């Protein structure tokens, strides 16, 4: 029986790389993969999943107005698996549509994404995944102090921690740093983190 999977981690935890490795593993066995991501993610390539370690693959993008279930049932119903990257940017309706694919087509859906934003608040897509996913697994990465990183700290050009602004601001290592909660709080308060 197929499941809806959510694999989440902080920035830099290799989520996109793992999505692409998972795709490779399915295809190596002769299985068909439908690789998707939200259209809002235009950082490296608007039509590809790109990892920091150099892996990349073309994908289909999903705009806010798109019904993922309809797209699957009309053109991708023969896929053996759906792999979705940057799922935090999907709407709750998109996540429900992915759930519907699992339930009605018995096709596994594997979602990769962030849990929380730069202020440690759940993204809408991630929140819905926590509510309805069958399997939830953390992809771990570490803070500069060596502890497990759980915060996606947004940093200004001068290196200060940003504590206000829009929830969605696309960026990579130039804008975000994964850190543990303790270091994040210390840096907000201007204290040395070691």
Q: Give the domains, in start order, of the chain with CATH numbers.
A: 4-138 (3.40.50.300), 151-188 (no CATH)
Mean pLDDT by 10 residues, the chain (194 residues): 96 92 97 95 78 88 96 96 96 98 98 92 96 97 92 78 67 75 84 46
Please report, for residues 44, 87, 134, 159, 174, the alpha-carbon distance to residue 6 in angstroms, rounded to integers and kept in the order given: 23, 9, 8, 31, 26
Considering only CA atoms, which of 176, 143, 147 is closest in space to residue 162? 176
User: pLDDT tens digits for 119-132?
Assistant: 898 999 999 999 99
Vertex 123: Cα angle to 148 and 192 (nearest 5): 35
Ramachandran sector of residue 54 (left: φ over 0; alpha: ψ -120 to 50; beta: rest): left
Q: What is the pLDDT of residue 167?
A: 67
Q: What is the pLDDT of residue 191?
A: 53
User: pLDDT tens digits for 24-58?
Assistant: 999 999 999 999 999 987 677 778 888 888 898 99
Query: Tokens at residue 30, please?
Result: 């002769």
How distant is the alpha carbon of residue 21 from its chain centre? 15
Report the distance separating Cα 123 and Cα 39, nearest Å: 16
SS3 149: coil
Query: Which value, in Å, is the radius of gyration of the alpha carbons in the chain?
Result: 17
């Amino acid at each position: 029986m197929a499941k809806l999977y959510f694999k989440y981690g902080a920035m830099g935890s290799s989520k996109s790389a793992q999505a692409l490795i998972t795709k490779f593993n399915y295809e190596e066995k002769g299985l068909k993969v439908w690789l998707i991501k939200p259209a809002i993610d235009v950082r490296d390539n608007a039509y590809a999943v790109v990892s920091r370690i150099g892996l990349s693959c073309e994908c289909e993008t999903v705009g806010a107005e798109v019904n993922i279930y309809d797209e699957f049932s009309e053109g991708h119903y023969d896929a053996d698996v759906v792999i979705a990257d940057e799922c935090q940017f999907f709407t709750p309706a998109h996540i429900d549509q992915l759930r519907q694919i699992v339930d009605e087509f018995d096709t596994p859906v594997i979602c990769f994404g962030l849990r929380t934003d730069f202020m440690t608040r759940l993204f809408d897509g991630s929140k819905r995944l926590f509510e309805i996913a069958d399997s939830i697994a953390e992809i771990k990465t570490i803070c500069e102090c060596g502890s497990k990183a759980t915060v996606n700290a947004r940093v200004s050009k001068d290196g200060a921690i940003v504590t206000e602004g829009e929830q969605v601001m696309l960026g990579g290592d130039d804008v975000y740093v994964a850190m543990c909660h303790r270091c994040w709080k210390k840096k907000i308060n201007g204290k040395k983190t070691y």
